[in-house]
Amino acid sequence: MTFISLVIAAGIASLFLPRFRVIRDSRTRASWYGGRFHGRLTASGLPYNMMGFTAANRTLPLGSWIRVTNDANSRSVILKVTDRGPYKTDSAGRAVKPLAAHPSRDVDLSYWAARKLGMIEKGVSPIRVEVLKKL
């Protein structure tokens, strides 16, 4: 393919990609959740897909779009909020009842999103969260 045909193809592809505007942003810490929850229903009623680009947050409306950027390496992904969390857990990783907000994290990422952000090994990373509005 020539350079011009690549530019034209990229332009055509961009017509079909969703466009977003940043509503607000914040800095926090994120963790991720994976296989143990795969297939379970999320707060949105959809099954959790650890290979999807989704996130859990306690306050944003379900269905919200966010851009998460890893402060350590500047990688970013756009995710849909489909679940609630993160919550405090016991030593076995089970949510403590009654549910209480985790004191140091505001976002739980799907396994695949965390992998793309390069935070699987660390488990928890400082991030920037931008709340997006679809145009």
Confirm if 87 and 99 have CB atoms less than 8 A apart: yes
Q: Is residue 64 part of a domain?
A: yes
Neighbours of 107 (CB within 10 A): 25
Nearest C-alpha neighbor of 31 from the set 93, 101, 114: 114
Token pair recorded at residue 8? 């034209």
Q: What does the alpha-carbon distance between residue 8 and residue 117 come to, in Å, rounded to a whole number?
A: 29
Q: Is residue 11 part of a domain?
A: no
Q: Is residue 9 part of a domain?
A: no
Q: Is residue 7 part of a domain?
A: no
Q: Is residue 117 part of a domain?
A: yes
- Tell me the pLDDT tens digit for each residue of 33-87: 888 889 999 999 999 999 999 999 999 999 999 999 999 999 999 999 999 988 7
Confirm if 30 and 127 have CB atoms less than 8 A apart: yes
Q: Is residue 8 part of a domain?
A: no
Predicted TM-score (pTM) of this structure: 0.80
Look at the chain and report how many structural domains it folds into.
Answer: 1
Residue 90: CATH number of its domain? 2.40.40.10
Q: Provide the domain limits for residue 49.
A: 21-134
Contacts of residue 114, defined as CB under 8 A and 6 or more positions apart, other chains included, come to: 30, 32, 120
Q: Is residue 48 part of a domain?
A: yes
